[in-house]
Amino acid sequence: MIIANWKCNGSIEMMLSWTDDYVKECDDIHTFDTFVGVAPPSIYFETFSVEISHLNILGGVQDIDYLDGSRTGAISVDMLIDLGCDFSIIGHSERRQIFNEDNNLIRKKLKSLNEKIMTILCIGETKEENDKGITKDVLKNQLEIVNGLDLDTQFTVAYEPVWAIGSGITPKPKDINEIHKYIKDVVQSNSVNNRTPKVLYGGSVTDKNAESFFTEEFVDGALVGGASLDGSSFASIVNIFNGIDK
C-alpha cells in the first residue's frame, strides 16, 4: 500500500500535470494489485477523482470531522461517502501539533470512520522522545485510541516519527521493522476483534530510500509527503514497491 499525503499543497494546474507525470512513469498501471491512494486537499477531492478515474489510484482525504451539523468549516464522514472517498488519514502529527488534536478527539474520528471509510491512523514520537528512549511508550499511549474497538478489516496504521517528517532523516530500516512489529502486536491485543493492521512507514520516503524500507518484513508500504507532490517520483516509489515480493 502506497499513500500520498499532499498536505496543504497543490492547485488545479498541478493536478493535471501530476497525473500525466504519474502515468508516464508508472509501470503497467492497469494490472498491479497494490493499493495506491492519494489524499489531495479536500477542496480538490472531486476534481482529482475525475482526473484519476481511469487510473488504478484511490482518492482519499487527510482528515475528517466526527459529526455533522453546526460545526462551521467541518467536513463529515457522510459527505465524504457521498463523494466516493476511499480512505481518510487521521491523527497526523501536524494535526496534533498545529491544531491541538488529542487521543480523545482522534478516537472519535476513528469511531465515526470505522466500517464506513478505510482509516489510516498516524502515530509517531518526537525527536526528544526518541532521544529519551521512550518511543514504544509513546506509541503505546497513542494506540490507546483503538482500545476496545472492533476494527474493520482495512484499518491501517502509519508510523511517522515526527523527526523524520520533511527532514531528510529516517530511522534505520531494521529499527522501523521492529517498531512496526510492536505496533501490530499492540493493536492486535488492544482491539476487541484482535485485528492485526497493515503498518505503513512515513517520514522522508523518496525513490532513493524506499527499497530499503519495503524489503523489511513488517513494512506494508509507505505514507509519502513531499516526494508524492511530483507524479513521477511517486510513481517510482510505487514501481519499487511492486518490484518487491511481499
The rounded Cα 224 to chain-centroid distance in angstroms is 8
The answer to whether 61 contacts ligand 13P (rule: CB under 6 A) is no
> Under rule CB under 6 A, which residues in 64-93 are in contact with ligand 13P?
92
Please, which residues have CB within 8 angstroms of residue 26's CB and are 6 or more apart in sequence? 235, 238, 239
> Residue 204 corresponds to which amino acid?
S
The strand ranges marked E within the chain are 2-5, 36-39, 58-61, 87-90, 118-123, 156-159, 198-202, 222-224
The Cα 26–Cα 88 span in angstroms is 24
Burial class (CB in 10 A: 0-12, 13-18, 19+), 90: buried
Task: Considering the complex, state which of residue 71 and residue 127 has its C-beta at the smaller distance from ligand 13P.
Answer: 127
H/E run at residue 12:
helix 12-25
| Among candidate residues 67, 123, 119, the one with its CA nearest the CA of residue 95 | 123
Residue 125 is a catalytic residue: no
202 in contact with ligand 13P (CB under 6 A): yes
**Contact flag: residue 225 with ligand 13P (CB under 6 A):** yes
From the list 16, 53, 115, 166, which residue makes contact with ligand 13P (rule: CB under 6 A)?
166
Choose the binding region for ligand 13P from 46-54, 65-73, 142-150, 225-233 (rule: CB under 6 A).
225-233
Q: Determine, following the binding rule CB under 6 A, whether residue 224 of this chain makes contact with ligand 13P.
A: yes
Active-site residue, 160 included:
yes
CB 92 within 8 A of CB 202: no
Interaction mask 107-146, ligand 13P, x per CB under 6 A: ----------------------------------------
Window of 14-22, 108-116, 145-153, 159-167 that interacts with ligand 13P by CB under 6 A: 159-167
| Residue showing the smallest CB distance to ligand 13P in the complex | 225
Q: Applying CB under 6 A, which part among 10-18, 70-78, 189-197, 219-227 lies near ligand 13P?
A: 219-227
Q: Is residue 210 close enough to count as binding ligand 13P by CB under 6 A?
A: no
Q: Is 149 in the site for ligand 13P (CB under 6 A)?
A: no
As a whole number of angstroms, the distance between CA 203 and CA 177 comes to 14
Which C-beta is closer to ligand 13P: that of 129 or that of 188? Answer: 129
Beta bridge partners of 224: 4
Q: Counting contacts by CB under 6 A, is residue 191 touching ligand 13P?
A: no
Other Cβ atoms within 10 Å of 105 Cβ, number: 18
Which CB atom, from 171 or from 202, has the smaller least distance to ligand 13P?
Answer: 202
Q: Which residue from 126, 226, 230, 232 is in contact with ligand 13P, where contact means CB under 6 A?
A: 226
Residue 92: name the closest of 158, 156, 43, 147 by CA: 158
Q: Under the rule (CB under 6 A), what is the footprint of ligand 13P? A: 5, 92, 160, 165-166, 202-205, 223-227
Q: List, by residue number, the catalytic residues.
A: 92, 160
